[in-house]
């Protein structure tokens, strides 16, 4: 670790590092406890959770972030809870729960649970966890896409001890179970979260017992200060100035014909980095408004990727950040704005990088696939009889960089720490068969360096079941850099069962399409429907094909090495037609390059 002011230090660097890594290890042990005991695939397969450890001053000491956009949301949430006095009477064995989104920085299904760690009967630290619950009583099962008030998004629990001195508050738990379509599942997940909090508290108490309060807290002061120094040192090497960019979301889920503007102004100065979302849309009627805590998380993801990407997170690293979004702005939701569909966070990250690309085109990649996509499935699980929600996330292409092609089939950067639900798990638990899964040809944006490819997956229903897709980037393209081009955009294609002659009336009754994209794709096939976001009940033989976008290209496509284009065609990444049209490279049927025709096309 770097040297710091020795007047502040009462513990040596080696001990400080041992304590820092001990706390990081405790956070990871909390994570393993949660994953091994949770009921929901969205927790133990996808990693939709975030765990953190704080000192008594609520400074972030370590975390284990399953979901990237939870980076910092816990810190915002516990600070707000303290302001509300929720920790004033916390005692050993207590667990406090809060799920009001304006406090927690997420949506109602992402409640935070907090416990205190005690040493010599004195509070010394907090452990915190949030994880996505299957159902907390919102207006719709699965995921809520068109709410117009927070009161349609599930039971609100404004901070209460659900466990006191180790004893569960059965009255509150009964209220929660009565308001959930999946009471067994959410209780199982809640118990897993409580278990992971206990593990975290035990480890922190062991740390204090081993080293003593004075040594541990001196080490904490030191590694937080070093974290800040590391971030500021990296920041000093970045250009100074202000840059801005805009982006567009398909709609808010209610006003379906209105694009929603996302705008950010990023300033890098001597004191730090400022993110200003004041130019974004005001609050919208649908649930894409973002709680301010998650807006902080979005900015932290970008900041950390530029300053301390290889270090375990702690609160010192984020001291140079300032986030601005006026109350009532899209990125600072206030009561009673609906917030369930948190996809503004996905689009915001892309927009921040787009702004910074003006300043650092050699260091910032082109735009990624821009969204997550792929269907999520909801309904009664056949073999358990329980209400379930199985989310899947498509792999998108990441943008190309100045020195390399983009990566194929990876999660969007806003959720790049997620995993996907394996096909075997889906098919064993749902009436769904995955009939195709692979890379989407020609989805990588053309460029001297090609954008990464998105994925393609086809789902066939073996019985009636619910499905939806959360997509907010299917009507407008991404972006390339330095003459590179965007990928072809995200799209879902709904296909009815071939032998069902009444599918139109059935779909009109059972399926809601929030983004009708037939016009975007010039679809004239009456047996297919091109869409962005939708939800509804599908029937036997119906199919959903999802094609995820690729990343943007970097540099002129006509400058791409012809052998790289040829190899892309051989690998199936690029079609022969796209090689000619986008790259000016003519590939014969024997996969050899037509040199004369290629030179002619590239000279035009």
Ordered alpha helix ranges (H), 270-326: 292-307
Strands of 32-82 (E only): list them.
49-55, 60-65
Q: pLDDT tens for residues 344-394?
A: 999 999 999 999 999 999 999 999 998 988 799 999 988 888 888 888 888
- Mean pLDDT across the stretch 180-205? 97
Whether 401 shows a pLDDT value over 90: the answer reads yes
Whether 70 shows a pLDDT value over 90: the answer reads no
Whether 9 shows a pLDDT value over 80: the answer reads no
Q: What pLDDT sits at residue 8?
A: 52
Q: pLDDT tens for residues 115-134?
A: 999 999 999 999 999 999 99
Count of C-beta atoms within a 10 Å radius of residue 317: 25
Q: What pLDDT sits at residue 3?
A: 45
Q: What pLDDT sits at residue 412?
A: 87
Cross-strand pairs, 456: 438, 547
The packing angle between helices 13-37 and 183-211, to 10°, is 160
Whether 71 shows a pLDDT value over 80: the answer reads no
Decide if 230 contacts 60 (C-beta within 8 A). no
Phi–psi pair at 31, nearest 5 degrees: -60, -45
The pLDDT-based confidence of 413 (bands split at 50, 70, 90) is: confident
Q: pLDDT tens for residues 486-539?
A: 999 999 999 999 999 999 999 999 999 999 999 999 999 999 999 999 999 999
Return the DSSP state at 384: T
Decide if 27 contacts 376 (C-beta within 8 A). no
Q: How many CA atoms lie within 13 A of 84 on its CB side?
A: 17
Q: pLDDT tens for residues 141-155?
A: 999 999 999 999 999
Is residue 243 reached through a cis peptide bond, with omega within 30 degrees of 0 on the bond before it?
Answer: no
Q: pLDDT tens for residues 426-461?
A: 999 999 999 999 999 999 999 999 999 999 999 999
- Mean pLDDT across the stretch 173-191? 97
The pLDDT-based confidence of 559 (bands split at 50, 70, 90) is: very high
For the chain, the average pLDDT equals 95
Q: State pTM to two decimals.
A: 0.95
Q: 198 or 383, which is more confident?
A: 198
CA 452 to chain centre: 19
Closest residue by Cα to residue 253 from 348, 135, 342? 342
Whether 274 shows a pLDDT value over 80: the answer reads yes
Q: What pLDDT sits at residue 2?
A: 46
| Alpha carbon distance 432, 465 (integer Å) | 9
Q: How many CA atoms lie within 13 A of 331 on its CB side?
A: 27
The dihedral over CA atoms of 229, 233, 235, 236, expressed in degrees to the nearest 10, equals 130
């Amino acid at each position: 670790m770097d040297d710091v002011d020795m007047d502040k230090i009462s513990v040596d660097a080696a001990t400080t590092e041992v304590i820092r890594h001990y706390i990081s290890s405790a956070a990871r042990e909390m994570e393993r406890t949660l994953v091994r005991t949770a009921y929901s695939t969205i927790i133990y397969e996808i990693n939709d959770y975030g765990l953190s450890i704080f000192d008594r001053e609520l400074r972030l000491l370590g975390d284990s972030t399953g979901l990237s956009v939870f980076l910092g949301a816990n810190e915002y949430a516990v600070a707000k809870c303290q302001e509300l006095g929720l920790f004033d009477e916390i005692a050993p064995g207590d667990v406090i729960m809060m799920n009001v989104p304006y406090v927690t920085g997420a949506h109602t299904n992402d409640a935070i649970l907090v416990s205190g760690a005690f040493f010599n009967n004195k509070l010394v630290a907090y452990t915190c966890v949030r994880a996505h619950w299957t159902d907390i009583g919102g207006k719709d099962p699965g995921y809520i896409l068109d709410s117009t008030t927070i009161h349609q998004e599930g039971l609100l629990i404004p901070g209460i001890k659900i466990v006191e001195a180790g004893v569960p508050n059965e009255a509150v738990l009964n209220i929660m179970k009565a308001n959930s379509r999946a009471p067994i599942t959410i209780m199982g997940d809640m118990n897993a979260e409580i278990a992971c909090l206990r593990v975290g508290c035990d480890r922190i108490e062991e740390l204090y017992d081993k080293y003593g309060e004075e040594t541990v807290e001196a080490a904490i002061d030191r590694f937080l200060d070093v974290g800040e120094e590391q971030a500021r040192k990296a920041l000093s090497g970045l250009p100074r100035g202000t840059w801005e960019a805009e982006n567009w979301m398909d709609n808010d889920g209610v006003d379906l014909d209105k694009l929603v503007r996302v705008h950010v102004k990023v300033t890098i100065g001597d004191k730090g980095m400022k993110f200003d979302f004041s130019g974004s849309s005001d609050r919208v009627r649908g649930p894409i408004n973002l709680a301010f805590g998650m807006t902080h998380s979005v900015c932290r993801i970008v900041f950390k990727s530029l300053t301390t990407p290889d270090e375990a997170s702690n609160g010192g690293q984020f001291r140079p950040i300032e986030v601005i979004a006026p109350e009532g702005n899209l990125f600072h939701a206030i009561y009673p704005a609906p917030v369930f569909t948190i996809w503004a966070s996905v689009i915001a990250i892309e927009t921040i990088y787009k702004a910074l690309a003006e300043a650092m085109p050699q260091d910032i990649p082109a735009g990624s696939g821009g969204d997550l996509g792929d269907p999520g499935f909801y309904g009664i699980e056949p073999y358990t009889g329980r209400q379930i929600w199985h989310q899947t996330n498509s792999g998108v292409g990441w943008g190309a960089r100045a020195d390399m092609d983009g990566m194929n089939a990876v999660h969007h950067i806003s959720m790049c720490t997620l995993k996907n639900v394996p096909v075997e798990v889906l098919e064993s638990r749902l009436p769904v068969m995955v009939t195709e899964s692979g890379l989407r040809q020609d989805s990588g944006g053309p460029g001297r360096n090609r954008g990464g490819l998105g994925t393609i997956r086809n789902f066939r229903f073996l019985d009636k079941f619910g499905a939806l897709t959360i997509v907010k980037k299917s009507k407008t393209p991404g972006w390339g850099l330095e003459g590179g081009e965007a990928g072809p955009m995200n799209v879902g294609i709904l296909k009815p069962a071939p032998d069902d002659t009444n599918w139109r009336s059935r779909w009109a009754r059972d399926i809601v399409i929030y983004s009708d994209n037939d016009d975007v794709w010039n679809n004239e096939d009456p047996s297919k429907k091109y869409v962005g976001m939708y939800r509804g009940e599908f029937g036997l033989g119906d199919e959903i094909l999802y094609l995820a976008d690729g990343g943007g290209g970097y540099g002129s496509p006509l400058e791409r090495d012809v052998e790289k284009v040829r190899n892309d065609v051989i690998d199936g990444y690029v079609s022969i037609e796209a090689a000619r049209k986008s790259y000016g490279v003519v590939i014969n049927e024997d996969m050899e390059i037509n040199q004369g025709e290629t030179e002619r096309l590239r000279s035009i």
